[in-house]
Chains A and B, each alone.
Chain A
Amino acid sequence: MIRFGKWRDAFDRFLFEGCDPRIIPVMRIGFAIIILIQSLVAWPDAERWFTDSGILSAETVKKISSPGSWSLLYLFPQNVLTVKICLGLLMGHALLMLLGIASRFQAAAIFVWLVSFQNRNPLITDGEDIVFRIMAFLFIWLPLDCGWSLWKRKPTAQTLHTPGQADAWGLRLIQIEMIAIYASTALCKTQGASWWNGTAVWFVSRLSDDYGRAVPKSFFDLPWTSEIATWGTLLIEFLLPIALWIRPIRNYAILAGLALHLGIELSMNLFLFQWIMMLGLLSFIDFERFPFKRSAVRDAPQVRDSATLP
Chain B
Amino acid sequence: MEKRGRPKIVNLLIRAFVIVFAIAVGVDVIPDSWVSHSVIRTHVRRGLGYLGLAQGEWSLFAPNPGMRTGFIVGEVRDGAGNIAVWKSPDWSQQGIATKFLKFRYLNYYQRTVLNREASNDLADYLQRSIPTREKVEPGIRLTDDLTIVPSDPIVPPIKQVILHHHHPLINLAYEEPIPKPTELVTTETDRYLVKRDYPK
Interface residues, chain A, CB within 8 Å of chain B? Answer: 8, 11-12, 15-16, 41-42, 45, 49, 53-57, 60, 63-64, 66-70, 111-112, 115, 119, 123-127, 130, 133-134, 137, 164, 166, 169, 172-173, 176-177, 180-181, 183-185, 187-195, 197, 199-200, 202-204, 206-210, 212-213, 218, 220-221, 223, 226, 269, 271, 306-307, 309
Of A8, A16, A55, A130, which one neighbours B121 at CB under 8 angstroms? A55
Q: Which residues of B contact A187 (CB under 8 A)?
A: 30-31, 34
19 A-B pairs in the complex with CB atoms less than 8 angstroms apart: A12-B3, A41-B100, A49-B108, A57-B124, A60-B121, A66-B45, A67-B46, A112-B52, A185-B59, A189-B62, A190-B63, A193-B63, A193-B175, A200-B64, A203-B64, A223-B178, A269-B100, A306-B5, A309-B5
B1 in the interface (beta carbon within 8 A): no
Given A176-B25, A204-B65, A269-B103; A56-B121 close (CB under 8 Å): yes
- Residue contact A209 to B96, C-beta cutoff 8 Å: no
Task: Report the bound CA distance from A226 to B181 in whole Å.
Answer: 14
Task: Report the bound CA distance from A309 to B3 in whole Å.
Answer: 11
Of B54, B57, B111, which one neighbours A184 at CB under 8 angstroms? B57
Q: Max chain B CB contacts within 10 Å: which of A60, A194, A200?
A: A194
Task: Report the bound CA distance from A115 to B50 in whole Å.
Answer: 10
Task: Report the bound CA distance from A208 to B89 in whole Å.
Answer: 12
In this complex, what residue of B is CB-closest to A161?
B5
| Complex interface bits, B1-32 against A, C-beta within 8 A gives 1, otherwise 0 | 00111100001001100100110011011110
Q: Which residues of A contact B125 (CB under 8 A)?
A: 54-55
B106 in the interface (beta carbon within 8 A): yes
- Residue contact B58 to A184, C-beta cutoff 8 Å: yes
Give 7 closest A-B pairs by Cβ, nearest first: A192-B63, A208-B92, A115-B52, A188-B62, A191-B63, A184-B29, A184-B58
- Residue contact A55 to B122, C-beta cutoff 8 Å: yes
In this complex, what residue of B is CB-closest to A138?
B21
Given A68-B46, A209-B92; A269-B99 close (CB under 8 Å): yes
B37 in the interface (beta carbon within 8 A): no
| Interface size grouping (class) on chain B | 35 or more
Given A56-B121, A60-B117, A221-B181; A209-B110 close (CB under 8 Å): yes
Q: Which residues of B contact A16 (CB under 8 A)?
A: 4, 11
Q: Which residues of A contact B100 (CB under 8 A)?
A: 41, 269, 271
B44 to chain A, nearest CB (A): 12
- Residue contact A67 to B49, C-beta cutoff 8 Å: yes
- Residue contact A209 to B60, C-beta cutoff 8 Å: no
- Residue contact B62 to A55, C-beta cutoff 8 Å: no
Q: Max chain B CB contacts within 10 Å: which of A57, A64, A210?
A: A210
Given A16-B4, A41-B104, A207-B65; A221-B178 close (CB under 8 Å): yes
Given A60-B121, A115-B52, A306-B4; A194-B174 close (CB under 8 Å): yes
- Residue contact B67 to A197, C-beta cutoff 8 Å: no
A175 to chain B, nearest CB (A): 10
Task: Report the bound CA distance from A173 to B58 in whole Å.
Answer: 18
| Complex interface bits, B145-184 against A, C-beta within 8 A gives 1, otherwise 0 | 0000000000000000000000010100011111011000
Q: Which residues of B contact A57 (CB under 8 A)?
A: 121, 124
A112 to chain B, nearest CB (A): 8
Of B4, B26, B67, which one neighbours A180 at CB under 8 angstroms? B26
B191 in the interface (beta carbon within 8 A): no
Task: Report the bound CA distance from A8 to B53 in whole Å.
Answer: 27
Q: Which residues of A contact B3 (CB under 8 A)?
A: 12
A151 to chain B, nearest CB (A): 21
Q: Which residues of B contact A188 (CB under 8 A)?
A: 31, 33, 57-60, 62-63
In this complex, what residue of A is CB-closest to B112?
A123
B82 in the interface (beta carbon within 8 A): no
Q: Which residues of B contact A185 (CB under 8 A)?
A: 58-60, 62
A65 to chain B, nearest CB (A): 9
Given A67-B46, A199-B174; A208-B69 close (CB under 8 Å): yes
Q: Which residues of A contact B180 (CB under 8 A)?
A: 221
Q: Which residues of A contact B168 (CB under 8 A)?
A: 208
Q: Max chain B CB contacts within 10 Å: which of A127, A184, A197, A204?
A: A184
